């Protein structure tokens, strides 16, 4: 029931990151944000995760699973992120990290 949206989330993250990298090529690197110990690639992925930040109870979660064409919000983050080699590179994730899939799902 969620396959189409999962594919869209996966592809959307990939396209958005490519657009961000193109923007950097055309406009140059930005200065690091003061007081934040993350680089801009890391901030990109952090902002993606925050997009789906939500709080719901077990009953609402069951309704989402039973009736929605979307996966639960936490899965909308971990699915695409774990498929993005750029995420693993940005955070220097070891190959055996839970956020690094051995077999990545890539369509484009």
Q: pLDDT in tens for each of the 108 residues of the chain? A: 999 999 999 999 999 999 999 999 999 999 999 999 999 999 999 999 999 888 888 998 898 889 999 898 888 999 999 999 999 999 999 989 988 988 877 776
Q: Where are the alpha helices (DSSP H) in the chain?
A: 3-27, 40-51, 58-67, 73-83, 85-90
- Give the HSE-up count for residue 92: Cα atoms under 13 Å, Cβ half-sphere: 2
Residue among 102, 55, 97, 68 at smallest CA distance from 83: 102
Cα 59 to Cα 86: distance, rounded to the nearest angstrom: 35
Say if CB 10 and CB 107 are below 8 A apart. Answer: yes
């Amino acid at each position: 029931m969620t396959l189409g949206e999962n594919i869209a989330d996966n592809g959307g993250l990939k396209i958005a990151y490519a657009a961000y990298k193109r923007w950097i090529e055309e406009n140059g690197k930005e200065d690091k944000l003061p007081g934040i110990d993350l680089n801009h690639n890391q901030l990109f992925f952090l902002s993606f995760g925050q997009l789906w930040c939500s709080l719901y109870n077990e009953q609402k979660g069951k309704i989402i699973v039973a009736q929605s064409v979307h996966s639960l919000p936490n899965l909308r983050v971990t699915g695409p992120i774990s498929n993005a080699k750029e995420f693993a590179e940005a955070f220097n994730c070891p190959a055996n990290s839970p956020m690094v899939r051995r077999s990545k799902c890539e369509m484009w």
